[in-house]
Amino acid sequence: MTIDYSSWDHIYVSDDEDATSPYVDTPSLFRMRHRVRLEKMAEFQQRGEDLENNFAECKRLLEEAQGQLKELEDGRQEGEEDEEREAELKQVQAVVKKLKKDEKTFAKLIEEYRREEKKVPWNVDTISKEGFSKSVLNTKPVPKEETQEEKVEKHKAFVEKYATEIKHFGMLRRWDDSQKYLSDNPHLVCEETANCLVVICIDFEIDEKHALMEQVAHQAIVMQFILDLARTLKVDPRGCFRQFFSKIKTADKPYQDAFDHELELLKDRVRSCAQLRMENAMKELEEEEKQKRLGPGGNLGHLQMVSDGFHLEIQRSFDEKNIQMLQEAMNKLDFEEGKYHLKRCIDSGLWVPDSGEGDDDEEGDDEEDEEED
């Protein structure tokens, strides 16, 4: 079955662009011709609507007249004859006859109008009509402000889930490998990955794995540059990381220098953080050791008392386990000073007052002192 293309034989698409005048502004001329054509189309359409309306009105009047005529004829058959009724009957018959004639005339005019409408060439305004029109406006949802606790939980959950993949990305060296890995794992292109890489750098620096720290720091700066590019372009980072790799592969000297400068700054910050963490760890360890050396009173232990300048005679009396020497040393001191040193002995566990096992306690304490020494 062939397709009939005859309806496309006469198409008026052009706005007569070829017919221009040097004395008239060309765009104004086109607008004027277009407006004239639209006015003619509107007049032609209005004429068709008027014919349809007149034809419908004629049919309505004809139906009313025919109903009136039928009533008059029915009354005439029943024997009701008078001059007025006869005159009205003739008048209605004439109206019906005229309306039938008008109906035929309007039907003929409408048929001619439709034939003429089919012959009208198509133009840019009538060649096609939209089947439907739909407008959709994409609005960016207002982001919900996260609390600090929510951010911490989100970061912790992300790192626990993708820790292995993040470490693998941190060990990549070539640009192409990094780009391919992010293409396969676009969920890694985010702030959490950059933060996790920095933490890994600090751990490597504490373990004195400096080469690994520098490698992971390089990948952390790569991720940070991708995030900065996304913020500049106001797009999702997952949609612009390829642009970063295309740019860095052919980067000019200023851009490459900026990348290297940020890398060195990150390395310095990592070293500082690692040093601070180690110092804090040492302080905590020293504090734990100090707590272990505290006596029963919660104050200084045996070794700490000796290092803090404990009274020499009292110290010697404990070393020799000589109670008499201890009493003599205490009698030589002022009351306040003796009270002070006695309290230190009690707090450190060197002296247990009101105990019948003083000698055993002192001997045990001295053995502990020797072991700690």
Integer Cα distance of 254 and 244 in angstroms: 15
pTM score of the predicted model: 0.46
Kindly report, residue by residue over 109-124, the tens digit of the pLDDT: 999 999 888 887 777 7
Residues 6 or more apart whose CB falls under 8 angstroms from that of 72 comprise 85, 88, 89, 92
pLDDT of residue 127: 75
Considering only CA atoms, give the Rg of the chain: 53
Q: Which of 230, 158, 223 is nearest to 189 (CA)?
A: 223
3-class state of residue 115 by DSSP = helix
Give residue 236's Cα distance to chain centre: 7
pLDDT of residue 294: 54
pLDDT computed for residue 57 by the predictor: 93
Q: Please give the CATH architecture assigned to the domain spanning 149-290.
A: Up-down Bundle (1.20)
What are the extents of the domains in the chain? 10-75+84-124, 149-290, 302-348
Separation between Cα atoms, residue 242 and residue 186, nearest integer Å = 11
- CB neighbour class for 287 (10 Å; exposed up to 12, middle 13-18, buried from 19): exposed
* Spans of the chain below 50 pLDDT: 15, 295-303, 305-309, 355-373
Structure tokens at 296: 């029963």
Question: Which ranges in the chain belong to alpha helices (H)?
Answer: 26-77, 83-119, 148-170, 175-184, 191-206, 210-233, 241-249, 253-293, 302-307, 312-320, 323-332, 335-348, 358-372
Q: What phi, psi does 122 have (nearest 5°)?
A: -75, 150
Q: How many CB atoms lie within 10 A of CB 240?
A: 18
Nearest to 244 by CA among 255, 254, 253, 234: 255
